[in-house]
Structure 1
Amino acid sequence: MEADGFPVLRCALCIGGMPVKDQIELIKRGVHIMVATPGRLMDMLDKKMITLDVCRYLCMDEADRMIDMGFEEDVRTIFSYFKAQRQTLLFSATMPKKIQNFARSALVKPVTVNVGRAGAANLDVVQEVEYVKQEAKVVYLLECLQKTSPPVLVFAEKKQDVDAIHEYLLLKGVEAVAIHGGKDQEERTRSVEQFRNSQKDVLVATDVASKGLDFPDIQHVINYDMPEDIENYVHRIGRTGRRGKTGIATTFINKTVDKSILLDLKHLLLEAKQKVPPFLATLQSESEKYLDIGGEIGCSYCGGLGHRIADCPKLEALQTKQAQNIGRRDYLAHNAADW
Structure 2
Amino acid sequence: MGDPPVKRYRRGEPQEEEEAKLSDLEDPHYTPYVPVRDRKLERLTKLGAKLYNSKKTNNDSSDSEKDEEKSGDEEDPQALARKENISLLDQHTELKRIAEARKESAFEKQLKEEEKILESVAEKRALMGVAELAKGIQYADPIKTSWKPPRHILAQPEARNERVRKKHCILVEGDEVPPPIKHFEEMKFPKILIRAMSKKGIVKPSPIQIQGIPTVLSGRDLIGIAFTGSGKTLVFVLPLIMFCLEQEHKLPFNKDEGPYGLIICPSRELARQTFEIVTYYCNYLREEGFPEIRACLAMGGVQVNEAVDVIRKGVHIMIATPGRLMDMLDKKIVKLDVCRYLTMDEADRMIDLGFEEDIRTIFSYFKAQRQTLLFSATMPKKIQNFARSALVQPITINVGRAGAASMNVIQEVEYVKTEAKMVYLLECLQKTGPPVLMFAEKKQDVDYIHEYLLLKGVEAVAIHGGKDQEERSKAVEAYKAGKKDVLVATDVASKGLDFPHIQHVINYDMPDDIENYVHRIGRTGRSGRTGLATTFINKMNDESVLLDLKHLLLESKQKVPHFLGTMQSENEKYLQLGDEKGCSYCGGLGHRITDCPKLEAVQSKAASNIGRRDYLASNATDY
Alignment-derived partner of residue 355 in structure 2: 71
1:166-177 alignment, distance < 5 Å: 166-177=450-461
Alignment-derived partner of residue 296 in structure 1: 580
Alignment-derived partner of residue 247 in structure 1: 531
Percent of residue pairs bearing the same amino acid type: 78
> Given residue 552 of structure 2, which amino acid in structure 1 is its aligned partner?
L
Alignment-derived partner of residue 108 in structure 1: 392
Partner Cα distance (1:302, 1:127) in 2: 21
Unmatched tracts of structure 1, length 5 or more: none
Do structure 1's residue 53 and structure 2's residue 325 form an aligned pair?
no
Do structure 1's residue 26 and structure 2's residue 26 form an aligned pair?
no
Do structure 1's residue 193 and structure 2's residue 491 form an aligned pair?
no
Alignment-derived partner of residue 336 in structure 1: 620
Partner Cα distance (2:570, 2:587) in 1: 19
Residue 113 of structure 1 aligns to a residue whose secondary structure is strand
Contact 1:64 1:92 in 2 (8 A): yes
TM superposition shift of 1:5: 4.3
Aligned to 1:321, which of 599, 605, 611? 605
Do structure 1's residue 159 and structure 2's residue 437 form an aligned pair?
no
Contact 2:382 2:584 in 1 (8 A): no
Runs ≥4 residues deviating over 6 A: none
Q: TM-score, normalised by structure 1?
A: 0.98
TM superposition shift of 1:108: 2.9
Cα displacement string for residues 207-241 of structure 1 (whole angstroms, at most 9, x for unaligned residues): 00001321131110000000001000000000000
Residue 362 of structure 2 aligns to a residue whose secondary structure is helix
Q: TM-score, normalised by structure 2?
A: 0.54
Aligned to 1:214, which of 488, 498, 512? 498
> Given residue 321 of structure 2, which amino acid in structure 1 is its aligned partner?
T
1:114-125 alignment, distance < 5 Å: 114-125=398-409
More helix by share: 2
> Given residue 134 of structure 1, which amino acid in structure 2 is its aligned partner?
T
Alignment-derived partner of residue 182 in structure 1: 466
Aligned to 1:260, which of 523, 544, 557? 544
Alignment-derived partner of residue 37 in structure 1: 321
Do structure 1's residue 132 and structure 2's residue 407 form an aligned pair?
no
Partner Cα distance (1:294, 1:334) in 2: 49
> Given residue 209 of structure 1, which amino acid in structure 2 is its aligned partner?
A
User: RMSD in angstroms over aligned alpha carbons?
Assistant: 1.1
Partner Cα distance (2:526, 2:469) in 1: 26
> Given residue 319 of structure 1, which amino acid in structure 2 is its aligned partner?
Q
Partner Cα distance (2:608, 2:323) in 1: 25
Partner Cα distance (2:597, 2:406) in 1: 24
Aligned to 1:278, which of 556, 562, 580? 562
Partner Cα distance (2:457, 2:367) in 1: 56
Residue 309 of structure 2 aligns to a residue whose secondary structure is helix
Contact 1:103 1:110 in 2 (8 A): no
Cα displacement string for residues 18-45 of structure 1 (whole angstroms, at most 9, x for unaligned residues): 2222321222112211110111111111
> Given residue 341 of structure 2, which amino acid in structure 1 is its aligned partner?
Y
TM superposition shift of 1:4: 4.1
TM superposition shift of 1:3: 4.3
> Given residue 201 of structure 1, which amino acid in structure 2 is its aligned partner?
D
